[in-house]
Structure 1
């Protein structure tokens, strides 16, 4: 099989988790801001798209070179062996971005890149007229940072956060990739109870269930690279068969999601049914302050409302105060709460064991971590 330079893109702050995921699949990594680089073949493309829970996309790094002038950009792009990736009828839309570079006009960079690829393709395939672009699609990106151009081809298509189970969502849904990251940071394992007391549409609980039963997050969706002639169907079949064999559908889980809004509880239940966890995750309408349990050594992972609108902040502050008091009754439980409130620790009533900066979309947040006391229970 052919070796490719690959990159898994990730939200800022989540690169290390993505690197761990890539390494778990057997590939060595190099981490940069928002990116995890590794080398792999066609099977690596399939496996990473199926298995990466926290990455946004998997891309092929086609080339990287200095680009100070448009002529330099054109000639460098034209020199690339595009025929290695694109068949004669390939469709190849070009997107672009430019940061701190002399070539700051993104539309011009896109147009020049497209023209250079067309010239290369026409020469290689001995075509005089237009390329019809009626075949499989290859989404190409020209990205220029500090006068260094990087060309990539997206192998994922729709972002990897689109698992396929979320049929309905609330007003401020948590991205599936971030939800999975929160579960992974908590080090939760399926032998421990898991609770999300502000569950919304159920994303965190659903991601926990997939992790608990070792279900590949991309198992039930399609990827743009499945259309490519050189990504043989047998590769995808093998990768999906491996994922199916790795899943532990019989693993028992104690996962509970609750929310004050009965409408959100119904949405979460619908999404759980769609994901195949209808009988595994318990969703119920309940205020967080009413949480009680006889279980020990549990894990709470949650994303409470941030109170963005006028009048909401005071309400949310009281909710966090109440929940902090409730959790004082459960010293063996670990709590992980994502919040944008700078006074969160004061509200919760305890200094955090550890704090981690993360971005929920464009919102700067912190993951407040409170580690529970160890009990005699064996995981």
Structure 2
């Protein structure tokens, strides 16, 4: 079996460039960026490294093959022609999921069923099995995605989504995904020697992700991945990747990271989550109103995902809070402020036009990331 594979790091809308940048920083080249995905060629070692290190990707998928299919026969034959025996052993468990968009074959259950039948037939033929396949071993989750009659078949190497870092023991009503929180931090120019504040920290996701970035801790260090169980990948690569992550972590890096929230219950949850992430002493938590923010530092970063006022009755209250926040933060012109919200009147309420704005999706909510760059000190 060839050692080079095509990997697809899937990304939330608006984060493709951030994911591509992370892939390049890991040393992989010829990166192709498309809607919702970043594709690149790599070796088996990259499967382990990308799962461990990609902070903003949703999953890492291994491309098995792509072909055109407008009929169920073409879907069956195209799937069967792929080298399944190189990936799935005799006892492999291989559930098939699917999706179809702007394609002749629009019935997802039918497509899934045909893909499954084609793989079963190929594996029985190649493994020399006359009866049914037991599927009692490791899981090889397959996805058949149809887009404009082009079929893309992948194996999911991650298992649980990469946002599941393993530290979240509690959360609030509208938790921010860890992958998006990491992206919000990465889209700033924050450096580890500068103070970092989240004034609406909720369950602590943004400060925790900032601390992981600050100490260069691999976000997937405390969890497992589907591909760890796969026979065709040498288990030694996982040990090697974990060793590399351990060597690159800078646990001695001092950080000034602060999380505050009005709700004392959320502060307790944030503290527990930070402890679970092994960052108990790195983030300082405080129960307070965001508008009571005060610092003697000459510059720093505020990165927050405040309430949007999406629920009926909350909007007026939230908009008043945005106005008060704008007044309170006017006293900090050298600070850089980054706010994610779905409220389209944010700039007017905050009382200042953003230096830059970026469209992002928080779950299925269309939001803007308002970026206010602090004035350089002495200017």
* Band the TM-score falls in, shorter-chain normalisation: over 0.9
User: Is 1:146–2:148 an aligned residue pair?
Assistant: yes
| 2: CA distance, partners of 1:230 / 1:111 | 25
Deviation at 1:376, TM superposition (A): 5.6
What is the match of residue 234 of structure 1? 236
Specify the alignment match of 2:91 in structure 1. 89
1:15 aligns with 2:16: yes
Task: Within 5 Å, give how 1:325-364 maps onto structure 2.
Answer: 325-364=327-366
Moved over 3 A (4+): none
Q: TM-score, normalised by structure 2?
A: 0.98
Distance in 2 of aligned mates of 1:287 and 1:214: 31
Matched, 1:253 2:255: yes
- Offset of 1:296 from its aligned partner? 2.0
Unaligned 5+ segments in structure 2 are: none
Deviations 1:203-243 (A, max 9, x none): 00000000000000000100010011122221101000000
1:24 aligned to 2:25? yes
1:170-228 Cα distance to aligned partner (Å, 9 max, x none): 00000000000000001211111000000000000000000000000000100010011
The whole-number CA distance in structure 2 between the counterparts of 1:50 and 1:30 is 21
Mapping of residues 130-145 of structure 1, within 5 Å:
130-145=132-147
- Measured in 2, the distance between the counterparts of 1:243 and 1:8 equals 19
> Which residue is 1:37 aligned to?
39
User: Which secondary structure state, in structure 2, belongs to the residue aligned with residue 124 of structure 1?
Assistant: helix
Q: Distance in 1 between matches of 2:125 and 2:329?
A: 68
TM-score (ref. length: structure 1) = 0.98
Unaligned regions of 5+ residues in structure 1, if any? none
User: How far apart, CA to CA, are the structure 2 residues paired with 1:182 and 1:170?
Assistant: 19
1:60 and 1:279 map into 2 onto residues whose CA distance is 38
Q: How does 1:1-379 map to 2 (within 5 A)?
A: 2-28=3-29, 29-375=31-377
- What is the aligned-residue RMSD (CA, Å)? 1.0
Mapped partners of 1:139, 1:186: distance in 2 = 35
